[in-house]
A and B are shown apart, each in its own frame.
Chain A
Amino acid sequence: MDTRSVPLLQVDNLRTRFHIPEGTVYAVNGISFSLNEGETLAVVGESGCGKSVTMLSILKLIPIPPGEIVTGSALFRDKDLIQLSDKEFEDFRGDEIAMVFQDPMTSLNPVLSIGQQLTETLCTHLSINQEEAEKKAIELLELVGIPEAPSRLGCFPHQFSGGMRQRVMIAMALSCTPSLLIADEPTTALDVTIQAQIIELVLHLREQLNMTIIWITHDLGVVAGMADRVIVMYAGFIVEEALVDDLYENPYHPYTHALIGALPRVDRRRDRRLASIPGAPPNLLVEPKSCPFAARCNYVIDKCRAENPPLVYIAPNHKAACWVDIADRSTGPV
């Protein structure tokens, strides 16, 4: 890992639970990672594995109750976000850290015009007047590639297509030039051509603004093109963390293996069924004591069912949480 500078964000042992009538949901179970300035970190994993909850916990956007951040710290520069009061957080969110959400169709307020929604953030954080805010809003819309920006300010979200709305969401997130942009599956709800446009847009903006990005996705194809480093999550744990090329070339954890194996590829025979991972993710209502992937793992040994493996370095810049050794694995699945 890059040790030149102090990390921009250092998350340590974050645990989030939700207390619901059926019991306790162990959503995030001791997550630690760090993020350097200017880096793009991808967080991948299937639905419900805690990717979004982790990010929402860092921004304290989970509903409390039923949510509860049990332990953990999230040092942003020198401030522990978890300890900030609600009032302090209001100044912080959207200013230093901004977030883009998954579904652009529902993330914009249907009764407020695009201009109103854009200027609101600007006025909240930059202490500028309405006129300046509008000028800035036009700049932002142009920045994200929306034509005829001045006349678009009065439009309402329902007059925009999904891709345009996501561009607006990105413009809103960028309005205060945040140091960190958290993108929570920003392209999942869009079709592939628009998805490509949005990714290209974010890459372009990253270069221009030297932004640090956390990109949550379940699309490994997207990750390959844009991330520096990847975190693979499963059932609220980080199971593997590696530089992006390293992850694709030498996936260590059986889950990462399976994920990459399940990717549809152009160079594979078309008549074969796509590979899938048998079984379902574990019930998060049970406190995890063993390896969460044990039930679906081809390489499982007795130890996996007894004890949860810690996330350890298996190579420079490459961490994984698995009891099974690579040497054993070379013999193939049991």
Chain B
Amino acid sequence: MMRNILVTGAAGFIGSHLSEALVRKGYQVTGLDNLSYGRIENLAPILAHPSFQFIQGDVRDVDLLRTIGRSMDAILHLAAFKIPRYSNALETLNVNSKGIENVLNVSVASGCRVIFASTSDVYGKNPNLPYSEKNDFYMGSPQIRRWSYAISKILGEHLCFLYHKEHGVRVTILRYFGSYGPKQNLTWWGGPQSIFIDCALKDAPMPIHGDGLQTRSFTYIGDTTEGTMRALESEDASGKVFNIGSTEETTILDLGKKVWRLVRGPEEPRIEYIPYRQFPGRYEDVRRRVPDIGLAKEILGFSPKVSLSEGLTQTIEWQRSVTTSGGALLG
């Protein structure tokens, strides 16, 4: 009987939603976060809940994790650095590889399950769409820093499977496709929809990288959480990888226009195109990204329910409430 769950990166966007969902379902939840990018406010609804405990600490801290992990039935490992241009590639590589390694070692000792949050970015530039879990990973030159994130996650996936094979760790890998929703980070870290909503609320031009015709499949946080819960509670998820995402493909430009319309009505959206060459260093974008979620549907019974328009409407409502109630939350 699964009861005690450790969520790393609990104060982050996905981590806080998951922690809350777990507490609501009756689990005993321990949330770990070093608050480097996570915000304690994200956990406000459950901070005082008797089934929730928050620990501020680093996921790379071997002794800390060993102590907490001893009594856990499962670890949801979400703590990660994602955009190298936000800190640096070194931190991204370091946190992402050592975090999962530490989690896996704890699991060897305690026998708990591990759910590893990976990313759609591992498919990289692969031109064959939609991406099934069997698709190849297309990475670019190491001189392009953006690949450090995907490569650190691929290494994490390998560590998961190697621990699974060599130590019998029961591990499940989830490749998330761009989650958004209330509590999302309000910088680029939170994704383009976050920036677009902010611009539309302020009647400022929305910055679009490149030609805006690159596509993504944005997944509403409720669906991401749902997929993760299903993986956690499934008897058949061990040793497997699942895409967790929406199959509603949209161009970044259409996303911007949609956000603008939902916030400001029929007026002409204000858009500012930003060429990639203005990025520091070299940059490579991924043109299209859509998941094949057949496996998650078959094994986990997962299917995303919230449409982009519906999800954006809720996200805009939330973002309006936090940005008008004062800038303190933005810090």
Q: Are chains A and B native binding partners rather than an unrelated pairing? A: no
